[in-house]
Structure 1
Amino acid sequence: MLIELEKVAKFPWSPWLAQIQTPFGRTAVRWCGDQTTEPGEYHVEWTVDEDIAWGRNVKPAVGVGPGVRPGGHCVVLRGRLDLTVDGAAVLDFDGTQILLDVADPLPEDVAGTWVELFIEREKIALYPYEL
C-alpha cells in the first residue's frame, strides 16, 4: 500500500512510530524501516501482531469502505474481513491483504463483512519496501 510518511519519532515509552496519511485516514503506527527515513511516499506492508477476538478487538464496522484512525491508545482499521480455511483471517484493507491470527473462532456470518479492528499502535507495524 502506498502511504504518505509525515514523520518518524521515538518516545521513551514506545518503539519508533510513524505518523502516516492514507487516502482514507491518518494515524501513528510502529515503523520498521530506517529511523532516519525522510517524509514522503512509501510502499508498505502492514502487519498486526495481536490475535483478534470477536467482540473484544474486532467488531462490526460503523460504516463501509476502508478507514484508519487513531482511537486513544489504539489504531482503528476498517476493512472487509475474510476467513481462511486454516482458521486465520484476512483483512482486505483497500486492496492490501493483512493476515490476522484468530484467538477464538469467528462467527461464520462475518465473512465478507466490513469490520473495525482496535489494535494497540505498537502492535501494528509498517514495513517499507521498494517496487
Structure 2
Amino acid sequence: MLIELVKLAKFPGRPWLAAARTSFGHAAVRWRGSRAAEPGEYHVEWAIDEDIIWGHNAKPAIESGPGLRTGGHCVVLQDRAALLDFAGTKVLPDLADPLPEDVADTWVELFIDSDKVSVYPYVL
C-alpha cells in the first residue's frame, strides 16, 4: 500500500514511529524501515502484533468505510470484520477467539497500541 511518511520520531524507551498518512486517515505507527528515511511516499506492508479480542480491542464501528486514526495511545483501524483490506492491501489480524457470527462482513474498529502496529517499506 502507498502511504505518505510525514515524519519519523523517536521518544525515550519507545520504538521509531512514523507519522503515516493514507487516503482514509492518518496515525503514528511503528516504522520498520531505515531510520534515515525522508518524508515522502512509500509502499508498505502492515502488520498487527496483537491478538484481536472481541469486546476488548475490537468492537462494532459506528460508521461504515475504512479508517485510520489515533485514539489516545492507540491506533484505531476500521474495516470489515476479521480481514482488513486497506486500499487493496490485506492485513490478517490474529484472532484470539472467533468473532461473533453476527459480526461477519460488518464494519469493526480495532484499538491497537501504536507500538503494535508496524509498517514495513519495500521497493516495487
- Match for residue 39 of structure 1? 39
Tell me, what secondary structure is at the counterpart of 2:115?
helix
Deviation of 1:94 after TM superposition, in Å, equals 2.9
> Within 2, Cα distance between the matches of 1:91 and 1:51?
14
Deviation of 1:99 after TM superposition, in Å, equals 1.0
Q: Is 1:19 aligned to 2:12, yes or no?
A: no
Aligned-pair identity (%): 66
List gaps (5 residues or longer) in structure 2.
Answer: none
Which string of whole-angstrom CA distances, capped at 9 and with x for unpartnered residues, describes residues 37-71 of structure 1? 00000011000000001111011111111110000
Query: How is 1:96-115 mapped onto 2 (pairs within 5 angstroms)?
Result: 96-115=89-108
- Match for residue 53 of structure 2? 53
Aligned residues: 124
List gaps (5 residues or longer) in structure 1.
Answer: 82-88
Deviation of 1:105 after TM superposition, in Å, equals 2.0
Q: What TM-score does the superposition give when structure 1 sets the normalisation length? A: 0.90
Deviation of 1:104 after TM superposition, in Å, equals 1.7
Conserved 8 A contact 1:80-1:93: no
- Match for residue 91 of structure 1? 84
Q: What TM-score does the superposition give when structure 2 sets the normalisation length? A: 0.95
> Within 2, Cα distance between the matches of 1:80 and 1:130?
28
Q: Is 1:3 aligned to 2:24, yes or no?
A: no
Question: Stretches of 4+ moved more than 3 A in 1?
Answer: none
- Match for residue 68 of structure 2? 68
Which string of whole-angstrom CA distances, capped at 9 and with x for unpartnered residues, describes residues 102-121 of structure 1? 11221122111111100000
**Equivalent of 1:118 in 74, 88, 111:** 111
